[in-house]
Amino acid sequence: MTNDQPAPSQIDTRLPHSARMYDYWLGGSSNFAADRALGQAFEQAIPSIRTMAMENRRFLGRAVRYMAGEAGIRQFLDIGTGVPAAGDTHSVTGIVAPDSRVVCVDNDPIVQAHAEFHAETLTDGDGRGRTVYLQADLRRPEEILRSPALTGTLDLEQPVGLLLVAMLMLVSDREDPWAAVATLLDALPAGSHVAITHPSQDFDPEAMADVVRAAEQGRMTLVPRDRSQVERFFGDWELIEPGMVPVMGWRPEGEPPKDPNAAYYWAGVARKKA
């Protein structure tokens, strides 16, 4: 939609949305002028923002492969899933664990529109694997947990992989994202895992302050948080090695990055103990 084709009626294309901005940074076509304008403003503050978006997508792949492989998880709840694209949860599980069941949650109607358009591709050949999309908001976790889309897809008596990748910064402190995440963690059984990435001012305070100002001008909430604030999201769950580290440094594939701090996100995966 980079040619500003007509959007579904429920989408206000005058306001930027994080999912469509990520789509723009990742080279997708499901974005509009407002998304591109704010995305470019972010790039002026942090020229490597496209690379950071890609590093978050790569972390998502590594985290899902770990959960499906070493942890043996076959159920995933991806909140803030964004526009479907290569390297997302559905495409990764389709390769490494095609029998997985996935619930993808986002509050951007364009994500639901894509899901409906591609509905025939969201179930594997033998019907064991399944991906459903739910239009909902992290700030109302109880609604997510009791949604028929979730309860009809996931068995909350069995371990779940919860994915909160590059989205918690969109919820203000006043809205208490820690309480929302805690509600989700409390609902999951022992053996479940959670993967989180979060931008931080710890890496470059001046650049992050410029991005926050750009977000405010675009009427978007963006809250970078320091290491201790991000660690709070994991609650009492056990962090998997190497713990909470810069996103590029979490179990990199191939040669370790020369500068793991080059993407300004903290990242980690944790497990709920029995």
Output the six-digit token pair for 248.
């590029």
Secondary structure letter of residue 44 according to DSSP? H
Q: What is the pLDDT of residue 120?
A: 43
Give per-residue pLDDT as tens, 202-261.
999 999 999 999 999 988 999 999 999 999 999 999 999 999 999 999 999 988 899 999
Q: Which has more confidence, 126 or 145?
A: 145
Would you say 238 and 271 are in contact if contact means Cβ atoms under 8 Å apart? yes
79 phi and psi angles, rounded to 5 deg: -105, 125
In the prediction, which pLDDT does 19 show?
80
Query: Of residues 254 and 114, which shows the higher confidence score?
Result: 254
Residue 115's pLDDT is 59
Does the structure show a pLDDT above 60 at 3? no
CATH class for the region spanning 18-251+260-271: alpha beta
Q: If you average pLDDT over residues 118-142, what whole number do you get?
A: 73
Q: Which pTM value belongs to this model? A: 0.88
- Using CA atoms, how far apart are residues 154 and 156, in angstroms rounded to an integer? 6
Q: Per mean pLDDT, which range of 44-58, 123-137, 257-271 is the poorest?
A: 123-137
pLDDT attached to residue 131: 86
65-81 residue pLDDT tens? 999 999 999 999 999 88
* Residue 44 CB neighbours (<10 A): 11
| 67 in Cβ contact with 193 (< 8 Å) | yes
Cα–Cα distance, 93 to 131 (Å, whole number): 10
In degrees rounded to 5, what are phi and psi of residue 54?
-65, -35
In angstroms, what CA-CA distances link 262 with 50, 146, 251? 12, 39, 16
